[in-house]
């Protein structure tokens, strides 16, 4: 399907980034929000993105001006009767999305695809607000949308193969890397990331390893930043809500760490509130090896939590697999459920989180039985949340050493 004109609903952080990418890919774009001030703010944001591309000599001024001119702001539905596609990036509230999709269904041409950038809501439920559920699909961009390469393409129960393929083609036109993910809580990247973030907090509350040591171990492993730095940056409250949601859906593996709850209860929400795990000074950017200042209240919060450090906890050098293997294990659960193709997992994690080495490649580097045995060990010492995926045991017992030995892939890869 060829896309000529698109609309983006919601001109906030994600909507403005998506509109920029669509316009740079050559599409005419209508950018809608509920108030003129929000539309103007979104357009100013996009202008800054283009200015930065000119400054970095990625685009000439003339190219940037011509792309920017393709975007028209509105608070109404002007131009929606001519679009081939809408990407909705309004608030993450089901009532808002259902109302938006109901309106879009009435106004947009019958052939138009309606995509949602929801982080966690059900694509199938959103589609139910329309008379074209076959043309509704999830397109989950990552923040900042104009920079991050990954887009998770999520079919709802009634989404047609044609719509999925069209969304995948569009991603490629936008120079994004699409990964098809079956609908499940957290989709792929967030689902894998949260057991890792949560576990870093469990380690911290045991008192044997400090935040900088944990963060440094993750960076040394290949992550662009440590889990506790990421937590502060994303917002402790946002992470708390996502983890609570995943915990309600998946159970024990996502059991929220008491420290996460404590940070939220005490208003330590990370960068935006001035303190989370670390103390934050507005405008201050820390160098790679610069010593970070800890939240001065952290020690008190930790002392208020009953600590269970586990019988086999060694202390000494921090064992980074304690936070990496929960992420690996969740990837295997996702494979077990056929949520994603085996070949797509490492690419999605690289593009969605910046992980510099393959997550599933860990099996090849360390062996599957190493991963399985370690998870059993952690499960004995620290609790059921480490329980290895059944599929991991099956593969280890079958003497599979590397996921690339598995063929065919569980879901047809989009690459
Ligand atoms: N921020 C992220 O990291 C991120 C990442 C991936 C997906 N998402 C998802 O993208 C969506 C938008 O997130 P965001 O961070 O850009 O939020 P945001 O608050 O920055 O922007 C949302 C915008 O939508 C507008 N809006 C609300 N109701 C509307 C309506 N009925 N019609 C038109 N506009 C409306 C708001 O006025 C606001 O400007 C959410 O569903 C969110 O879960 C966010």
Domain segments of the chain as ranges: 5-180, 189-210+226-309, 321-405
- Identify the DSSP state of 179: E
Whether 189-210+226-309 shares its CATH topology with 321-405 is answered yes
d(CA 409, CA 405): 10
Locate 326 and state its tokens: 């929960």
Locate 305 and state its tokens: 């939590």
Bridge partners of 84, per DSSP, are none
Q: Taking the alpha carbons of 70, 76, 78, 82 in that order, is the dihedral positive or negative?
A: positive
**CA 253 to ligand 1 center in whole angstroms:** 29
| Pocket-testing residue among 12, 73, 151, ligand 1, by greatest number of atoms within 8 A of Cβ | 12
- Per-residue pLDDT tens, the chain, 415 aa: give them: 899 999 999 999 999 999 999 999 999 999 999 999 999 999 999 999 999 999 999 999 999 999 999 999 999 999 999 999 999 999 999 999 999 999 999 999 999 999 999 999 999 999 999 999 999 999 999 999 999 999 999 999 999 999 999 999 999 999 999 999 999 999 999 999 999 999 999 999 999 999 999 999 999 999 999 999 999 999 999 999 999 999 999 999 999 999 999 999 999 999 999 999 999 988 777 776 778 899 999 999 999 986 655 544 446 889 999 999 999 999 999 999 999 999 999 999 999 999 998 899 888 888 899 999 999 999 999 999 999 999 999 998 888 878 877 755 445 444 4
Q: CA 97, 32, 102: angle at the middle one, nearest 5? A: 35
d(CA 217, CA 229): 12
**CA 270 to ligand 1 center in whole angstroms:** 20
The domain defined by 321-405 carries CATH number 1.10.1040.10: yes
What would the 3-class secondary structure string for 194-240 be?
HHHHHHHHHHHHHCCCCHHHHHHHHHHHCCCCCHHHHHHHHCHHHHH
| Pocket-testing residue among 36, 38, 89, 191, ligand 1, by greatest number of atoms within 8 A of Cβ | 89
Query: Measured from the CA of 42, which atom of ligand 1 is nearest?
Result: 39
Q: Which of 40, 63, 103, 152 is catalytic?
A: 152
d(CA 162, CA 151): 17
Nearest CA to ligand 1 atom 18: 12
**CA 119 to ligand 1 center in whole angstroms:** 10
* Ligand 1 binding residues, C-beta < 6 A: 9-15, 32-34, 38, 89-92, 96, 100, 117-119, 141, 143
Pick the CATH number of 189-210+226-309 from 1.10.287.70, 3.40.605.10, 1.10.10.10, 1.10.1040.50: 1.10.1040.50
| Residue 398 CB burial class (10 angstroms; 0-12, 13-18, ≥19) | exposed
Question: Which pTM value belongs to this model?
Answer: 0.93
Angle between helix 211-221 and helix 227-234 axes, rounded to 10 deg: 100
Nearest CA to ligand 1 atom 39: 12
Q: What are phi and psi of 115, to 5 degrees?
A: -110, 150
384 is catalytic: no
Class of domain 5-180: alpha beta
């Amino acid at each position: 399907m060829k896309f000529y004109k698109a609309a983006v609903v919601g001109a906030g952080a994600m909507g403005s980034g998506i509109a920029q990418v669509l316009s740079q890919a050559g599409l005419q774009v209508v950018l809608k929000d509920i108030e003129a001030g929000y539309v103007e703010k979104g357009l100013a944001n996009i202008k800054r993105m283009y200015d930065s591309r000119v400054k970095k000599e990625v685009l000439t001024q003339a190219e940037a001006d011509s792309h920017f001119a393709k975007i028209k702001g509105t608070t109404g539905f002007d131009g929606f009767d001519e679009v081939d596609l809408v990407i909705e990036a309004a608030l993450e509230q089901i009532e808002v999305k259902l109302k938006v999709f109901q309106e879009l269904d009435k106004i947009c041409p019958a052939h138009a695809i309606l995509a949602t950038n929801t982080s966690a809501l059900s694509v199938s439920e959103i589609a139910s607000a329309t008379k074209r559920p076959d043309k509704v699909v999830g397109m989950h961009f990552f923040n900042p949308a104009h920079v991050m390469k990954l887009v998770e393409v999520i079919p709802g129960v009634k989404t047609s193969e044609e719509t999925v393929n069209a969304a995948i083609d569009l991603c490629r036109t936008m120079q994004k890397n699409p990964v098809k993910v079956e609908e499940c809580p957290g989709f792929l990247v967030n689902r894998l990331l949260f057991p890792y973030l949560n576990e870093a907090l469990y380690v911290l509350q045991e008192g044997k390893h400090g935040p900088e040591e944990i963060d440094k171990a993750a960076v040394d492993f290949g992550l662009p930043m440590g889990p506790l730095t990421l937590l502060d940056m994303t917002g402790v409250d946002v992470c708390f809500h996502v983890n609570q949601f995943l915990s309600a859906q998946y159970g024990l593996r996502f059991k929220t760490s008491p420290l996460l709850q404590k940070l939220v209860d005490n208003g330590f929400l990370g960068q935006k509130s001035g303190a989370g795990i670390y103390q934050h000074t507005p405008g201050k950017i820390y160098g790679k090896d610069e010593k970070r200042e800890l939240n001065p209240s952290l020690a008190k919060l930790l002392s208020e939590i009953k600590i269970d450090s586990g019988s086999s906890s060694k202390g000494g050098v921090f064992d980074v697999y304690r936070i990496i293997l929960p992420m690996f294990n969740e990837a295997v659960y996702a494979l077990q459920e056929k949520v994603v193709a085996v070949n797509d997992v490492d690419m999605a994690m690289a593009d969605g989180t910046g992980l510099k080495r393959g997550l599933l490649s860990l099996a090849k580097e360390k062996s599957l039985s190493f991963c399985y045995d370690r998870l059993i060990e952690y499960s004995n010492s620290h609790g059921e949340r480490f329980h290895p995926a059944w599929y991991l045991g099956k593969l280890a017992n079958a003497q599979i050493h590397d996921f690339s030995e598995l063929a065919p892939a569980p879901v047809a890869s989009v690459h």
